[in-house]
Amino acid sequence: MSMLSAFPTALILLAVVACAGAPPSEPSHDPRPAGELAAEAHLLAEHLRETPAAPLPDGAVRVRLAFGGDADLDLYATDPSFETVYFANSPTRAGGTLEADVRCDAPAPRIETVTFAAVRPGTYRVGVDFPESCEGGADEIGFAVRVDGAIAGERQGSIAKGHFLAVVLEVEAPDPP
């Protein structure tokens, strides 16, 4: 048998071995069409743009995550010193604070908010985690992220239950003049 003819068989065996140790998957709801998820994310982004937020002091930054009522998403905001603000790390040494950690009992749309008292030069990264669905919730939902204040950016997308998107948005804060 040539090396090339054995190659597909080896790949199949590797896939079987890799999946053998995987935990059984939970039964899932019917997947939502991509167009429906994109429409949901678009509406959430519009909501963030149009919903007035509390004024920020000069030089401060706000990061908001909006999502629907089918899930409990978590917002992660990492500053240029690589310290991340999230439900288990607030406040941070750099002045990042989780203002709101919303759960399934909050009305939709749900908005989680992180603020940084003062922008520092460098890259800010925003991540989203989907640890659990709310009762009867979907296995994939749309979301929108918005950064405003001293720096700005926006992103929308969708996320599946059990997934963590470490970087959905990066915003660069320039060096001071």
Q: Give tens-digit pLDDT for 91-150.
A: 999 899 999 899 999 999 999 999 999 999 999 999 999 999 999 888 999 999 999 999
0.85 surpassed by pTM? no
Give residue limits of the domains in the chain: 32-173
**CA 110/CA 43 separation, integer angstroms:** 13
CB distance 153 to 169 below 8 Å: yes
Q: What are phi and psi of 104, to 5 degrees?
A: -60, -25
**32-173: CATH class:** mainly beta
pLDDT in tens, 89-100: 999 998 999 998
